[in-house]
Amino acid sequence: MKIDLAVLGRQYECRAAAYEEAALRALRSGWYILGPELAAFEEEFAAYTGARYAVGLNSGQDALTLSLRALGISAGDEVIVPANTYIATVLAVTENGATPVFVEPDAYYNLDTSRIEAAVTARTRAIMPVHLYGQAAQMPAVMEIAARHALAVVEDCAQSHGAHFGGMMTGRFGNLGCFSFYPTKNLGAFGDAGAVVTDDAVLAEKIRMLRNYGSREKYHNEICGVNSRLDEIQAALLRVKLKHLPALTAERREIAAQYLAGIHNECIILPQLRDGAEHVYHQFVVRTAMRGHFKAYLKEHGIETVIHYPIPPHLAACYGSLGHGRGSFPLAEQYADEVLSLPMFNGMRSDEITYVIETVNAYCP
């Protein structure tokens, strides 16, 4: 049996008529940028998260970058980021001229809140927690530290659509919550797309201006902005998927539950769930010290896997100037050497889930 890491077409096929109707509606409208579909999606996504405002953007990366810019973070400032994350989180900091300050992860792969305070300096302006793989970070502790030091909080929710900590959804704790709608995400578009949610009217308006060349009115550019607009077709398609997101999330959790109950191999470390946190399983990530051998074994048996992520940002070539050599953040580096994502996607069949479980259980290095 051959099983891909993700088969996006199955989700489309389940609701093909609705997606096609939405796309045609947008096409036939004759309005393709900053139109009624975007306005409706922004209202619906804000309502889904519980935020007052949502601002659609070109990508999750732009959501992070423009959020920091809206807060006035720039050269000379520091932003605390997880050492264990995708590099997009860190690129948002350096794109604004600020300096990323890395903090080690906890046992749940998220920012270790017990280490944050030691990273705060007189130059620190913000904390950027990431809800990695779909599990909510320990946000109450993050917010308590931020309040004590008068720091902004920008949540990277690129992988956590619909996840909660306690009774609050990710993206709602900080000043701004940043979402990616890249096609593989739990709420994925059919191309690049992203959004910011916030309760702050001033920040929402500033990001609206930043996404459209720094203007509220055409040709009246009040600030230096960019071109980062979520187009009408993607907004229309996202409106369809958003209606079904609770069901899609429940399906992913059921797949994860089967993995957690069925996989029993002492060589494989399964993901843990923190008390109070919810997981929406954007990825199902396991760990093993024999990752290369295990990955090759799964490939031989037709199971595709991916490493999220093989190089921690502090060791990326583009950040060599920061001076972090190997050993600077040993736990993040250990995770980077050991993590492996098993197949996880909506529309995954029961026989495929069973095959993955049985194949993992049969692994013997």
CATH class of 245-361: alpha beta
The b-or-e profile of 99-112 (16+ CB within 10 A means b, else e) is ebbbbbbbebbbbb
- Report the CATH fold assignment for 8-101+109-239: Aspartate Aminotransferase; domain 2 (3.40.640)
What is the Cα–Cα distance from 231 to 58, expressed in whole angstroms?
A: 8
Q: How far apart are the first and last CA of the chain?
A: 21
On whether the CB atoms of residues 100 and 94 are closer than 8 A, the answer is yes
What is the model's pLDDT at position 289? Answer: 97
What is the model's pLDDT at position 63? Answer: 98
What is the Cα–Cα distance from 53 to 204, expressed in whole angstroms?
A: 7
Among residues 360, 343, 161, which one has the least CA distance to residue 261? 360
What is the model's pLDDT at position 58? Answer: 98
Low-confidence ranges of the chain (pLDDT < 70): none
Q: What average pLDDT does the structure give for the chain?
A: 98
What is the model's pLDDT at position 37? Answer: 98
Could you give the angle at which helices 87-95 and 60-70 cross, rounded to 10 degrees? 40
Backbone angles phi, psi at 34, to 5 degrees: 50, 50
What is the Cα–Cα distance from 91 to 313, expressed in whole angstroms?
A: 9
Q: Give the pLDDT confidence of 312-332 residue by residue, as tens digits.
A: 999 999 999 999 999 999 999
For 23, 226, 277, the CA distances from 38, given in Å and listed in that order, are 13, 18, 31
On whether the CB atoms of residues 18 and 240 are closer than 8 A, the answer is yes
Residues 6+ apart with CB under 8 A from 285: 109, 133, 271, 308, 339, 340, 341, 342
What is the model's pLDDT at position 27? Answer: 97
- Which two tokens mark 365? 């290095």
Q: Any idea where the domains of the chain sit in the sequence? A: 8-101+109-239, 245-361
Backbone angles phi, psi at 196, to 5 degrees: -120, 140
Q: pTM to 2 decimals?
A: 0.97
What is the Cα–Cα distance from 14 to 202, expressed in whole angstroms?
A: 40
Count the Cβ atoms, other than its own, within 10 Å of residue 291: 17
What is the model's pLDDT at position 294? Answer: 98
